């Protein structure tokens, strides 16, 4: 059963019973809260909505990272050819690159590469979905006076997603670059060629021009990647693509392992479109996905129980459970324990009709859903502790709605024994 509450409208849908096999929903109860908003019992997900920018045309991707080295996480947003960062806590907007410099901007990855306390930003631009040979990679570095210098790194056809991580344990960051398509694809199936995943090794001297490129593998229609530790000292790469979700490791034997198949279907509307790895308080891991490519479903695959060696972060994962099938052009996903109960919540958003951001809270058996914002055509979701209160916050960026929004958890702790 999937519970849903419309938290932002005064309409409270108390229960939706979901028959996942055929994705039919029957409303069992609907109440209108006419005065004082919705009463939220202790432990239910509620958020303060804080607008960071109400005028960011074409917003596409958002990051949370310390840009200026003051120890506070800032917000980096891009879209419409522009990359900009918003300084915490005033959220003053500072432009990194302009449409003239980075047309067709599609992704960024922010990290302090040289240890000087000032972050560099890798930028993917010149993306064009129907021209898979186009794509450029640059590095933006900070100069005096708030200026940024762009250095061209490489030409990468169909460049689409960027992430930093220490993939080989050398304490230096690698940049993972994931094209969306192979260079020879054609619409409407885009299955004639695979996307070639690569990483750039920055090494001990991370100056552009000295980076070594290494091939990682190939997958069809790679829409999203996540780079993170997975039960070991190095970081690994999760891909969401037309074959589902796979994990790549550069350390050890450099293996690839398929984890889950995603949604069935015909190319390109199959597999997975977004992926994040979450955890439950009992030690189990789960994979949260949006399926299929630009799909309508939020799905969760639970991992096995913990064993003597710790959480089984690499699976095997159980059957795919669709916890929401009402997205239109799903494009945003995140996981974080926003209510402090030890279980990661799933956050998802879409940019199509009836656009919104929703949160899904595991109750021990099923996932309770809450719509937290209808005023954003969500293109991306990220998280971090923006206000330093020890609770993870969530940030979204909207394309058609031109906004960057921070969701600060207001959830009250559940009473002991409840």
> What is the set of domains in the chain, with CATH numbers?
56-222 (2.130.10.130)
**What pLDDT sits at residue 297?**
99
**What pLDDT sits at residue 43?**
58
| 3-state percent breakdown (helix, strand, coil) of the chain, nearest 5 | 0, 50, 50
- Residues 284, 302 contacting (CB under 8 angstroms): yes
SS3 assignment, position 60: strand
Mean pLDDT of the chain: 88
Q: Does 208 or 196 have the greater pLDDT score?
A: 196
What is the band of 207 on the pLDDT scale with cuts at 50, 70, 90?
confident
Rounded-to-integer distance, Cα 24 and Cα 6, Å: 19
**What pLDDT sits at residue 411?**
66
- Give the tokens for residue 38: 């919705």
Enumerate residues 6+ apart whose C-beta is below 8 A from 282: 305, 306
Cβ density class 146-177: b for 16+ within 10 Å, e for less: eebebeebbebbbbbbbbbbbbbeeeebbbbb
- The string of pLDDT tens digits covering residues 337-356 is 999 999 999 999 999 999 99
What is the band of 414 on the pLDDT scale with cuts at 50, 70, 90?
low
Residues in the chain: 418
Query: In sequence order, what DSSP letters do the residues of 228-261 get, joined into one string?
Result: EE-SSSSEEEEEEETTEEEEE-SSTT--EEEEE-
Q: Sign (positive/negative) of CA torsion 307, 313, 319, 325?
A: positive
Of residues 361, 359, 371, 345, the one with CA closest to residue 38: 371
Is the pLDDT assigned to residue 410 strictly greater than 70? yes
> Which of the residue ranges 1-5, 214-218, 308-312 has the most confident prediction, judged by mean pLDDT?
214-218
- The string of pLDDT tens digits covering residues 50-78 is 999 999 999 999 999 999 999 999 999 99
Long-range CB pairs of 246-250, under 8 A, 24+ apart, other chains included: 246/217, 246/219, 247/314, 248/197, 248/216, 248/217, 249/167, 250/167, 250/168, 250/174, 250/199, 250/214, 250/216
The gap between the terminal CA atoms of the chain, to the nearest Å, is: 20
Q: What is the distance of C-alpha 359 from the center of its chain?
A: 14
Is the pLDDT assigned to residue 128 strictly greater than 50? yes
Under DSSP, the state recorded for 411 is P
Tell me how far CA of residue 165 lies from CA of 58, 112, 327, 332, in angstroms.
27, 12, 31, 21
Of residues 79, 75, 65, the one with CA closest to residue 107: 79
Count Cβ atoms below 10 Å from residue 314 Cβ, excluding itself.
Answer: 18
Count Cβ atoms below 10 Å from residue 21 Cβ, excluding itself.
Answer: 7
Q: How many CA atoms lie within 13 A of 155 on its CB side?
A: 4
Classify the phi-psi angles of 194: left when phi > 0, otherwise alpha if psi is within -120 to 50, otherwise beta: beta
- Residues 138, 92 contacting (CB under 8 angstroms): no
Listed range (28-32, 90-94, 147-151, 403-407) with the worst mean pLDDT: 28-32
SS3 assignment, position 44: coil
Q: Does 167 or 1 have the greater pLDDT score?
A: 167
Rounded-to-integer distance, Cα 99 and Cα 221, Å: 26
Read off the pTM: 0.89
- Residues 46, 35 contacting (CB under 8 angstroms): no
């Amino acid at each position: 059963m999937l519970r849903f509450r419309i938290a932002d409208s005064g309409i409270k849908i108390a229960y939706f019973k979901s028959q996942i096999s055929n994705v039919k929903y029957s409303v069992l109860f609907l109440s209108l809260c006419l005065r004082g908003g919705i009463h939220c019992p202790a432990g239910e997900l509620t958020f303060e909505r804080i607008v960071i920018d109400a005028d960011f045309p074409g917003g596409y991707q958002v990051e949370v990272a310390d840009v200026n080295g003051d120890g506070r996480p800032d917000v980096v947003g891009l879209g419409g050819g522009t990359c900009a960062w918003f300084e915490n806590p005033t959220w003053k907007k500072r432009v990194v690159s302009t449409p003239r410099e980075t047309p067709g901007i599609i992704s960024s990855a922010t990290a302090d590469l040289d240890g000087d306390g000032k972050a560099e930003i890798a930028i993917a631009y010149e993306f064009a979905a129907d021209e898979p040979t186009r794509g450029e990679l640059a590095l933006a570095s900070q100069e005096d006076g708030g200026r940024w210098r762009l250095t061209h790194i490489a030409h990468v056809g169909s460049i689409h997603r960027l992430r930093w991580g220490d993939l080989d344990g050398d304490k230096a960051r690698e940049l993972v670059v994931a094209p969306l398509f192979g260079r020879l694809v054609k619409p409407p199936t885009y299955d004639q060629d695979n996307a070639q995943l690569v990483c750039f090794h920055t090494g001990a001297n991370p100056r552009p021009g000295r980076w070594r490129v290494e091939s990682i593998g190939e997958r069809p229609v790679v829409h999203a990647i996540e780079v993170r530790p997975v039960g070991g000292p190095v970081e690994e790469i999760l891909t969401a693509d037309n074959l589902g979700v796979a994990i790549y490791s550069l350390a050890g034997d450099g293996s690839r392992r398929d984890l889950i198949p995603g949604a069935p279907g015909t190319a390109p509307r199959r597999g997975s479109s977004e992926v994040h790895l979450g955890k439950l308080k009992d030690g189990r891991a789960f994979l949260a996905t949006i399926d299929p490519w630009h799909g309508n479903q939020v799905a969760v695959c639970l991992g096995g129980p913990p064993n003597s060696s710790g959480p089984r972060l690499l699976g095997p994962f159980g059957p795919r459970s669709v916890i929401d099938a009402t997205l239109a052009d799903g494009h945003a996903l995140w996981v974080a324990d926003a209510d402090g109960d030890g279980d990661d919540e799933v956050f998802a958003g879409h940019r199509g009709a009836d656009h919104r951001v929703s949160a899904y809270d595991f109750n021990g058996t099923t996932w309770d859903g809450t719509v937290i914002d209808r005023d954003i055509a969500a293109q991306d979701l990220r998280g971090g502790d923006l206000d330093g209160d020890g609770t993870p916050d969530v940030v979204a960026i909207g394309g058609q709605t031109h906004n960057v929004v921070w969701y600060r958890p207001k959830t009250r702790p559940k009473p002991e024994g409840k």
